[in-house]
Structure 1
Amino acid sequence: MADSGTATRNDTRQQTGTPGPMTTPDGGGPARAELTTKSGKTRIAEGVVAKISGFAAREIPGVHSMGAGLARRVGQLRGLVPGGTETIRQGVSVEVGEHEAAIDLDIVTFYGQSIVDVSEAVRRNVVDRVQAMTGLKVVEVNINVDDVFVEGDQDGDDRQQRAR
């Protein structure tokens, strides 16, 4: 990821673990992947890569939901409102360069599932789907397992059961 025009991580992200904003080289608007051919250019927005990644992660058995803490709870509430849906990009952040993408996922697994196996399956599926659909090289998929869902636990947070 050292060459120019690739997905890069900024200093803020490395220190805090949160994605830093990526903008176009002229400083305006969200970053987009740009695939250049003899016939013209194709630009792929970060939101497109995030959406593909979200769908790909959710395809894996063992992934209960996505998102960390409060964002996941807000998404659950949004799903209860008529006409509201949980956003597919929840728990997904991406950085896209001209030829490469880096992806971060926050997932919740089911209790009893191998976190290692689920994480590797998610990583493989996200890489395969993004590369096949966009032509971008996925240089990394970082997965943060934020929680473990326990059946009968309404919000996936087993702290309530430990408190009983």
Structure 2
Amino acid sequence: MQELFQRYQYGIFGGGIGLVLAILLLTIGFLKTLLVIVCVFLGAYIGLYLNTIGFFDRFKKLKILEEQNMENKTNSSVNQQVPGELTFSDKVIQKIIGFALADIDGLLTIDGGFFSNIAEKLVNTNNVTTGIQTEVGKKQVAVDMDIVVEFGKDIRNIYDEVKNVISNEVNSMTHLDVVEVNVNVVDIKSQEEYEEDSETVQDKVSDAASSTGQYISKQTSKTTRKAQNEVQERTEPRVE
């Protein structure tokens, strides 16, 4: 039955129209039937024209806006009922930045950090924040870092990519705006030179016990001097 209908569907459709016309002619007469046909075609034409100029889309948009307003009011009501505040520590922002920068071509390392594009992975994820300084506010973030770049690479492009990656990653995860990214290039090395200078993970572990005290002392002095310099240079916070 279904195959028969599909084969003769247009004929069946035309026959149905003919049947309707015959009933109209027999019941209301020729002139009234003609009037009905004219009104049907006129209504169809008006409907197509209004759809072409986007008349019906306006009502759809209004309905969508009303639904969004209702949803926003509901969310606002819920938020007002549950007070609180979301904050991020410097370490969280620094770690986001450290992971985000690991795949930038030409960026060998953050000075003091432990990732390498040559190895294409983080060597020590616990120290990914080393070498990254941040100032975190309630709405904004400012970033300072020293980097080592690969010889022969476009440093300006690396800097632009660093800014874009930091801004996008921090904003997507925290909704904080990155308002300032200061990058200081402290060294340039070839890949061969960097590989020779880089220590293996085992070397880091074996040397850690003997150098921990000296390292902490140096880092403490360095941090203290840097903090004092920043206090002298900046009298107002950079972020909100």
TM-score interval for Structure 1 and Structure 2 normalised by the shorter chain: 0.5 to 0.7
Match of 2:212 in 1: none
Larger mean Cα displacement after TM superposition, 57-66 or 95-104: 57-66
Alignment counterpart, residue 85 of structure 1, candidates 85, 103, 124: 124
Q: Displacement, 1:155?
A: 2.3
In the alignment of these two chains, the number of paired residues is: 108
Match of 2:182 in 1: 142
- The CA RMSD measured in Å over matched residues stands at 2.1
Match of 1:59 in 2: 103
Q: TM-score, normalised by structure 1?
A: 0.59
Q: Map of 1:86-125 to 2, 5 A cutoff?
A: 87-125=127-165
Match of 1:126 in 2: 166
Alignment counterpart, residue 197 of structure 2, candidates 152, 155, 161: 155
Q: TM-score, normalised by structure 2?
A: 0.41
Q: Displacement, 1:58?
A: 2.1
Match of 1:45 in 2: 89
Distance 1:55 1:144 in 2: 19
Query: Which protein, 1 or 2, shows the higher relative CO under an 8 Å CA cutoff with sep ≥ 6?
Result: 1
Distance 1:106 1:55 in 2: 16
Structure whose CA Rg is larger? 2
Distance 1:152 1:132 in 2: 36
Q: Displacement, 1:149?
A: 1.8
SS of residue paired to 1:44: coil
* Structure 2 unmatched runs, 5+: 1-78, 116-122, 199-240
* Structure 1 unmatched runs, 5+: 1-36, 77-83, 157-164
Q: Displacement, 1:107?
A: 1.3
Of all paired residues, the percent bearing the same amino acid is 31
More helix by share: 2
Distance 1:130 1:102 in 2: 11
Which stretches of structure 1, 4 residues or more, deviate above 6 A after TM superposition? none
Match of 2:62 in 1: none
Distance 1:61 1:152 in 2: 16
More strand by share: 1
